[in-house]
C-alpha cells in the first residue's frame, strides 16, 4: 500500500444539516476548480530550491508545508472504489473531534494507542497569524495498517473534519498509526478555506502529510500487540528515505514531523503547525 507522489465537545451524527447548515450535497465544482487552480500555482511545483517561511510578531518562524500526495485512500471525492466515487466528506457526522468511531450507521471503533492531535493553521505571508474558520480533513490507517473504507468496507473510522478556532487550532482524538510496508508512519490531511469547500477534495488549499517521530513509533510498536506487524516493518523504512518525505528540505521535514508528549501506556498529545501561503 505504497503512496505515489503523483497527485494532485464530540459531535454526534445528527445529519448533515446539523453538521453544516449551509453545506450543499452537490460538489462545488466551479468554485472548487477556481480555488484548486490557485492552490496548484502555489503548491504544484516542488523545486526544492527554497523553503518558504515567515516570522511572527513574537519572533517565531513558521514554515510553509510542502504539498504531498493524497495517496490512494483519501475518500474525499477524488477517486473511486468498486466503480463508485468515494466521498466521506458529505457523510452525516463527518465534522467531529473523535475520529475513532465509524459514522453513517457503521459500528466498528478503532483500537490503538490514543492520540490527541492539535493542528495549528497559520498564514506564512502575514506574520504567522492564526487562521480561524478553516476546515481540516484528516485521515490515516489503523493499528493494523489498513485504511477504512478501502481495506475494510464495513468501517469509516479515522477520518473526519475539524474547524479551526480563533487561535487557528483544530483538535482531533485519534490513535497512533501503524507502519505499513513502503511508508514511514504518517497522517494525511487536507486544508480547505471553510467547511463549505470541504465537500470537494479538488478545492483543497493544501494536501499534505505529517510524519511521526521515530522514537515514539518504536516505543508504541514494541509495547502493544496490536502494532506487532509494525515493529518489524519499521526496520525496513526510514523517514529520510521515505518516498513522500525524502524531497522535503530539512526545515520542511522538521515542520512536517509532529511533536509528541506522553507514552505508550497513557497515550500521546501530538502537535503540528501548518503554514499556508494564501
List the chain domain ranges.
Answer: 16-276
- Predicted structure pTM score: 0.84
pLDDT of 141 > 90? The answer is yes
Q: Of 138 and 49, which is predicted with more confidence?
A: 138
DSSP the chain: ----S----PPP---HHHH-TT--SS--HHHHHHHHHHHHHHHS----S---EEE-TTS-EEEBPPP----S---EEEEEETTEEEEGGGSTT-B-SB-SB--TT---B--SSEEEEEEEEEETTTTTEE--S-EEEEE---TTS--BTTTBTT---SEEEEE--TTSEEEEEEEPPP--TTS-SEEEEEEESSGGGGG-GGG-SEEEEEEPPHHHHHHHHHH-GGGHHHHHHGGG--TTT-TTTTTS-HHHHHHHBPEEEEETTTEEEEEEEEEE--
Stretch 65-81: mean pLDDT: 93
Residue 81: the pLDDT is 81
Fold for the domain defined by 16-276: Protocatechuate 3,4-Dioxygenase, subunit A (2.60.130)
Amino acid at each position: 500500500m505504497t503512496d505515489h507522489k503523483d497527485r494532485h465537545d464530540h459531535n454526534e451524527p445528527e445529519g448533515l444539516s446539523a453538521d453544516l447548515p449551509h453545506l450543499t450535497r452537490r460538489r462545488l465544482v466551479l468554485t472548487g476548480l477556481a480555488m484548486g487552480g490557485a492552490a496548484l500555482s502555489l503548491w504544484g511545483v516542488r523545486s526544492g530550491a527554497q523553503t518558504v517561511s515567515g516570522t511572527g510578531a513574537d519572533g517565531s518562524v513558521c514554515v510553509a508545508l510542502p504539498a504531498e500526495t493524497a495517496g490512494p485512500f483519501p475518500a474525499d471525492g477524488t477517486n473511486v472504489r468498486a466503480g463508485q466515487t468515494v466521498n466521506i466528506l458529505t457523510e452525516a457526522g463527518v465534522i467531529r473531534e473523535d475520529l475513532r468511531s465509524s459514522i453513517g450507521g457503521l459500528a466498528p471503533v478503532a483500537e490503538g494507542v490514543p492520540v490527541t492531535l492539535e493542528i495549528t493553521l497559520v498564514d506564512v505571508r502575514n506574520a504567522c497569524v492564526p487562521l480561524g474558520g478553516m476546515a481540516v480533513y484528516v485521515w490515516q490507517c489503523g493499528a493494523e495498517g489498513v485504511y477504512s473504507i478501502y481495506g475494510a468496507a464495513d468501517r469509516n473510522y479515522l477520518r473526519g473534519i475539524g474547524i479551526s478556532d480563533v487561535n487557528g487550532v483544530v483538535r482531533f482524538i485519534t490513535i497512533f498509526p501503524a507502519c505499513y510496508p513502503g511508508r514511514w508512519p504518517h497522517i494525511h490531511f487536507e486544508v480547505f478555506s471553510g467547511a463549505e469547500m470541504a465537500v470537494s477534495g479538488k478545492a483543497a488549499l493544501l494536501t499534505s502529510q505529517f510524519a511521526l517521530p521515530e522514537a515514539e513509533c518504536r516505543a508504541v510498536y514494541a509495547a502493544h500487540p496490536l502494532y506487532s506487524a509494525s515493529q518489524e516493518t519499521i526496520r525496513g523504512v526510514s523517514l529520510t528515505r521515505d518516498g513522500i518525505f525524502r524531497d522535503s528540505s530539512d526545515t520542511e521535514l522538521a515542520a512536517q514531523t509532529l511533536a509528541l508528549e506522553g507514552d505508550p501506556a497513557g497515550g500521546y498529545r501530538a502537535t503540528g503547525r501548518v503554514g499556508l501561503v494564501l
